[in-house]
Amino acid sequence: MPQFLDYSDADFDARFDALLNAKREDSPDVDATVAGIIADVRQRGDAAVIELTEKFDRISVTPDTLRITGQDVDTAIAQVSPEDRAALELAADRIAAYHARQMPEDAEWTDGAGATLGWRWTPVSAAGLYVPGGLASYPSSVLMNAIPAKVAGVSRLAITVPTPDGVLNPLVLLAAKLAGVDEIYRIGGAQAVAALAYGTETIAPVDKITGPGNAFVAAAKRRVFGKVGIDMIAGPSEILVIADADNDPDWIALDLLSQAEHDESAQSLLITTDANFGQQVAKAVEKRLETLQRRAIAGASWRDYGAVITVPDFDTAAALSDRIAPEHLELCVADPKGLSQKITHAGAIFLGQWTPEAIGDYIGGPNHVLPTARSARFSSGLSVMDFVKRTTLAQMTPEALRAIGPGAERLAASESLEAHGLSVTARLRKLND
């Protein structure tokens, strides 16, 4: 059973803080191993990647077969049913349409001093997407990572996807094709991240790496950051549902389980103003766990990290939500939009009882790569903005330099940077000749 907390209890704050600070991340000490793998790939390139792929994925590859060919892709995706293809195509279209609206605009203006200022946005030249393999193959994640990159204008997009025992996932490959991926490599683990970051004889390096992975992948992304950009270090999935009693307890139970089934370390929380409704939801969760396919995983998550929290009103619920800063936030209340405006920290908000979080995972349009572990306090989900960078522009006329240059001279002198100041002074003297 989950924890039951009541805001009116004297020990509520202590129990709530303990809930927030419970260590859920699976963080085995893999850093030393990952450091060795990265060093090996940097030194030996393809040879290291090939050896590690044979060791961990039980397949033999050569430099010529590291890359999955277009023919391999076409053969695999021919196995996809028309219904699955249609669903992926619908998702791809919606994700592309949503992210197209995120594209920022260039700007340029002339200010009162006569200086022309502005900025322009340009895409990264190459991006790499890590795609988990085996049981954790998620074609939806391919779409969510690759489509924003292509919408941003990334000209080269490579993905790495492990293929344990040589098995290709047709849906993953179809998603890659729909998203416009340029290169697909049958490798995974820290060695794939190292190959994308530093390059090998066969795999050209990229500028940014995105995508989920296990502890080894996360550690590798931490280590290569700085050489390349990364999206984020994602932790276990989490959902917070704020609900009133005018909901079907079974619906809310399923929403909570939709994240619990991801991982034993996932967290599912319910905040409600009705203690009896909270009990009904908890009973509905237990009933669903009797038949859920992934009940062992979901049950452990709900038992160890789940909670039902009773509050006196929804203003209190909003305040607690901001302290949680959840990855996913469902507002199943009479006025979800009004409540959402009282909440500042959340990765994604799902408004109303007809908007289950799973819609966001697959087909809604917004990205499902979201900040976890309370990082929604300071970061955002994946977007087009992760694949573009802003370059500022400035142009002085002689009049503009005459107007603002003396200020630059003074500030340079205050910092004892003589050449800085002189570079302005020389031009001002020319103007005064």
pLDDT at 214 over 90: no
Same fold, 3-25+235-364 and 396-432: no
- Asked whether the beta carbons of 245 and 280 are under 8 A apart, the reply is no
- The tens digit of pLDDT for each residue in 279-294 reads 999 999 999 999 999 9
Cβ atoms within 10 A of the Cβ of 213, count? 25
pLDDT at 254 over 60: yes
**What is the b/e burial string over 255-289, where b = at least 16 CB atoms within 10 angstroms of the residue's CB?**
bbbbbbbbbbbbbbbbbbbbeebbebbbebbeebb
pLDDT at 135 over 60: no
- The per-residue pLDDT of the chain, averaged, comes to 95
Q: How far apart are CA 27 and CA 32, in angstroms?
A: 13
pLDDT at 132 over 90: no
Reported as a pLDDT band with limits 50, 70 and 90, residue 28 is: low
Locate the domains of the chain by residue range: 3-25+235-364, 31-106+125-230, 396-432
Q: How far apart are CA 428 and CA 422, in angstroms?
A: 10
Stretch 169-173: mean pLDDT: 95
Reported as a pLDDT band with limits 50, 70 and 90, residue 318 is: very high
Fold of the domain built from segment(s) 396-432: 1.20.5
The predicted pLDDT at position 64 comes to 95
The predicted pLDDT at position 290 comes to 97
Q: How far apart are CA 216 and CA 34, in angstroms?
A: 6
The predicted pLDDT at position 22 comes to 83
pLDDT at 212 over 80: yes
- Asked whether the beta carbons of 307 and 271 are under 8 A apart, the reply is no
* C-alpha distance from residue 291 to each of 169, 253, 256 (Å): 27, 13, 15
Beta pairing partners, 239: 268, 328
126-135, 319-328, 365-374, 422-431: lowest mean pLDDT where?
126-135
Q: How far apart are CA 148 and CA 145, in angstroms?
A: 6
pLDDT at 115 over 60: yes
- The tens digit of pLDDT for each residue in 321-377 reads 999 999 999 999 999 999 999 999 999 999 999 999 999 999 999 999 999 999 999
The predicted pLDDT at position 134 comes to 60
Closest by Cα among 128, 158, 142 to 68: 158
- Predicted structure pTM score: 0.94
Active site residues: 327-328
The predicted pLDDT at position 399 comes to 96
Reported as a pLDDT band with limits 50, 70 and 90, residue 136 is: low
pLDDT at 69 over 90: yes
pLDDT at 144 over 80: yes
pLDDT at 25 over 80: no
The predicted pLDDT at position 114 comes to 97
Superfamily of chain region 3-25+235-364: Nitrogenase molybdenum iron protein domain (3.40.50.1980)
Residue 234: HSE in the Cβ half-sphere, 13 Å Cα cutoff? 23
The predicted pLDDT at position 27 comes to 61
The predicted pLDDT at position 432 comes to 84
The predicted pLDDT at position 73 comes to 95
Fold of the domain built from segment(s) 31-106+125-230: Rossmann fold (3.40.50)
The predicted pLDDT at position 104 comes to 97
